[in-house]
Structure 1
Amino acid sequence: MQQADAPNQAPTIPFWQAFLFWLKLGFISFGGPAGQIAVMHQELVERRRWISEKRFLHALNYCMLLPGPEAQQLATYIGWLMHRTIGGLVAGILFFLPSLFILIILSWIYIQFGDVPIIAGLFYGIKPAVTAIVFHATYRIGSRSLKNPCLWSIAVAAFIAIFFFNIPFPLIILSAAILGYLISKKYPLLFTQQNAHANTSKRYGTAVIDDDTPPPSHAIFRWGNLLKILSIAGLLWCIPILMLSLTLGWQHTYTQMAWFFTKAALLTFGGAYAVLPYVYQGAVEYYGWLSPTQMIDGLALGESTPGPLIMVVAFVGFLGAFNSALLGTEHLFLAGAIGAVIVTWFTFLFSFVFILAGAPVIESTHNQLKFTAPLTAITAAVVGVILNLALFFGYHVLWPNGFDQGFNFEAALMTLAALIALFKFQINVLYVIFASALCGLLLYLI
């Protein structure tokens, strides 16, 4: 890490050092979006000090507002901020590329050996560990974001709204933004995070991209750059879908996958957990690309592999093409791999557009309260929503067949052990997942 030698010299982070970090992150980013954001905070803010807490949370607030995988978009944002467009592309692509290859292989293994006790046992043990990781990550994000009673109240209200009244996530986000803006007009100090910044500086030290570091030249909004990005993105969407439509037909499964996951990328807010019900309804109930049991197993694969949880769509694309034998019975694996690549392309394309087109606007607002207050309130609301998701996931692990069918004491013990390992001993999530998978395998075989 190289620091500036003069006050007017922009601090720099070596590109290849950042490249190696993003590559590493693609292989270790377990635990869903909450866990992945926590890993990035620990590495980039606390340990490496490449970006300050305030700038990190400002970027996170924006990503939380977008449809699509917020953790992958956050990586894209920070990579772009450090190293322009190439940095954003590298960070964003490496975040999910290892997961794509891993899920293609695991999808094939699942089809061939899904009933083998060893595979089933590993899945049995991984689920409690992931549950503990999501709870731990929720605590970490909440402890950083909820700095006063007002933000705590917003988080609690968001939890009550989604847990008890099932209010749609976009409505919760919009309400939090409006509330943050209105309260900040009368009580601006509640949203300035001055106290949080003081504590952060004391703990972590000066960051390369610090609170007062001016935005780099590429982060300044220009209409010409915006039109260029939108034009390129339009071509990257239009050309593939036109080729699929003209060569295979609009009703072909590959074409319908491209169209369906385009809608999923644009219409679903709240990250992967909000996308999953939409994907389930379309892929299982409407198109019939895979069975309900296969969809649940795919979610388990997505939870137990690195990368964004939304990468479960690669499993959906693989099985949808495989089950339909789109290239004939002699090319089942190739058909599945093409399906996985198609759905991944149309799922993530717009995530890059949102960041590369919108980040310059967001960077210009990080010291303006009228913009930061709504985003700070959104972060508080998202903490409550993530807690709801953690409880939802814990319910399905501890009561896999519903309350009427009894409590899973084995899963509860593994979840408790994982929580102790994370909270008490701060053990790396990879070791927690490995140990839990091994315990699950032993229990399943016994």
Structure 2
Amino acid sequence: MKAPVSYSLIELVRYFLRLGTLGFGGPPALVSAMHRDLVVERGWITEADYREGMALAQLAPGPLAAQLAIYLGYVHYGIWGATLTGVAFVLPSFVIVLALSWLYVRFEGLPGLQASFYGIGAAVIGIIAIGTYRLTIKTVGNDRLGWTLFCLSALATAIAESELLWLVLLSGGIYWFVKAPPAFIRPGVGGSLAPFLTQVLALPPDSVLWKLAVFFTKAGAFVFGSGLAIVPFLYGGVVKENGWLTEQQFLDAVAVAMITPGPVVITVAFIGYLVAGLPGACVAALATFLPCYVLTILPAPYFKRWGKHPGIKAFVDGVTVAAVGAIAGAVFVLGRRQLVDVPAMLIAIGTVGVLYRFKKIPEIGLIGAAAAIGLLLRSLP
């Protein structure tokens, strides 16, 4: 018999609407916030369900945080829950990015925004770091094997500057064979990512919207890892291959994604807007997020059905450890690029200290303070 659900679908949708509106820091901060809020504090989601969601989000292509939100909505409320939580999580940041896109085009750039991003970016690194620390302690605990796999994944991500899917899978396999040795070896379970986007064939070559749809569908369907992993893919297609944006415009697009709440991948809406206005933004966002939605809800029932098997549970635990390690490595990569001088480092360290000391402090307040400091520092001669 299933345990009674302690929350309503409306409450869950309201939570993800709030997280999508106020959740800064990209994938590391967002997935750790979901764990803190839904698993630890509210008890709506079990630790096992959260780990299954993390593993599925890591194994399937698309943005990590959005996929985890979709899966957590599916846990107790099925496809309706997955759909509504996914929309609630993505919609606020989409609207905010649309507004910033309009301002960017209207005023030919956002110099004030770029100045504030100096402080915000540093604070975001602090938010990501403390969120990753808490998620790591909770996930890995005192497990020596877990710490070994975590460190390998973090180091590999920091060196390669991208998440390595083969290492994540290998971590799951090692954890499985050590923690729950199988009585016999058989082909792995599930994980089919059968292509379903056959409409990419025979598309009108002269339609910008169709070109956007094809490109961003590939980005959503075939790029693995967190939302940060999609940035190199976008750069190659948007700047180098198609020439839709200049180098500076692309950097501005990434900056806008980092200073807005919700998933980092929402930068695709900014890019789409610059290329083809409001229709371009809508096409880019839909084409990116629809594959990750489909590739989350299709295997979800099998994860729920077989996730309690000792071998699969061990594999999921290993994948989760490697996923958290990859997040930690991404923090290092982002920090190296963002913390370019002493004031930025001090802002990041101060953010970590405040969040470590005062766990209930609203992150939006720290973001606002950091923006003000950035503007002040940039205005000084």
Equivalent pair of 1:114/1:120 in contact (CA under 8 Å): no
1:398 to 336, 339, 354: 339
Equivalent position SS for 1:269: coil
Equivalent pair of 1:71/1:308 in contact (CA under 8 Å): yes
- Equivalent residues in 2 for 1:307-322, closer than 5 Å: 307-321=262-276
- Tell me how far 1:72 sits from its aligned partner: 1.1
Instruction: Name the structure 2 match of 1:378.
Output: 319
Equivalent position SS for 2:35: helix
Instruction: Name the structure 2 match of 1:275.
Output: 230
The Cα offsets for residues 108-163 of structure 1, whole Å up to 9 and x where unpaired, read as 21223355653232222111011111111211111111120100000111223333
Please give the alpha-carbon distance, in whole angstroms, between the structure 2 residues aligned to 1:8 and 1:63.
24
Q: Which amino acid aligns with 1:146?
A: V
Say whether 1:156 aligns with 2:151: yes
Instruction: Name the structure 2 match of 1:424.
Output: 357
Instruction: Name the structure 1 match of 2:187.
Output: none
Equivalent pair of 1:422/1:428 in contact (CA under 8 Å): no
Instruction: Name the structure 2 match of 1:28.
Output: 22
Larger radius of gyration: 1
Please give the alpha-carbon distance, in whole angstroms, between the structure 1 residues aligned to 2:159 and 2:140.
22
Instruction: Name the structure 1 match of 2:186.
Output: none
TM-score for both structures, normalised by structure 2: 0.90
Instruction: Name the structure 2 match of 1:137.
Output: 131
Equivalent pair of 2:63/2:292 in contact (CA under 8 Å): yes
1:126 to 120, 125, 130: 120
Q: RMSD value over aligned CA atoms?
A: 2.4
Say whether 1:100 aligns with 2:33: no
Runs (5+) with no aligned partner, structure 1: 1-6, 189-229, 322-335, 400-407
Closer, same or farther: CA 103–387 of 1 in aligned 2, 3 Å: same
Say whether 1:265 aligns with 2:199: no
- Equivalent residues in 2 for 1:198-213, closer than 5 Å: none
Closer, same or farther: CA 168–131 of 1 in aligned 2, 3 Å: closer
1:437 to 349, 371, 375: 371
% identical equivalent positions = 30
2:104 to 98, 107, 110: 110
- Equivalent residues in 2 for 1:270-349, closer than 5 Å: 270-321=225-276, 336-349=277-290
Number of aligned residue pairs: 368
- Tell me how far 1:252 sits from its aligned partner: 2.1
Q: Which amino acid aligns with 1:300?
A: A
The Cα offsets for residues 53-93 of structure 1, whole Å up to 9 and x where unpaired, read as 22212222221211111211111111122222111100001
- Tell me how far 1:178 sits from its aligned partner: 1.9
Equivalent pair of 2:157/2:330 in contact (CA under 8 Å): no
Please give the alpha-carbon distance, in whole angstroms, between the structure 2 residues aligned to 1:116 and 1:161.
35
TM-score for both structures, normalised by structure 1: 0.77
Please give the alpha-carbon distance, in whole angstroms, between the structure 2 residues aligned to 1:390 and 1:171.
20
Equivalent position SS for 2:298: helix
Equivalent position SS for 2:306: coil
Q: Which amino acid aligns with 1:418?
A: T
Runs (5+) with no aligned partner, structure 2: 184-193
Instruction: Name the structure 2 match of 1:412.
Output: 345
- Tell me how far 1:428 sits from its aligned partner: 2.3
- Equivalent residues in 2 for 1:179-258, closer than 5 Å: 179-186=174-181, 245=203, 249-258=204-213
Please give the alpha-carbon distance, in whole angstroms, between the structure 2 residues aligned to 1:86 and 1:165.
38
Equivalent pair of 1:117/1:444 in contact (CA under 8 Å): no
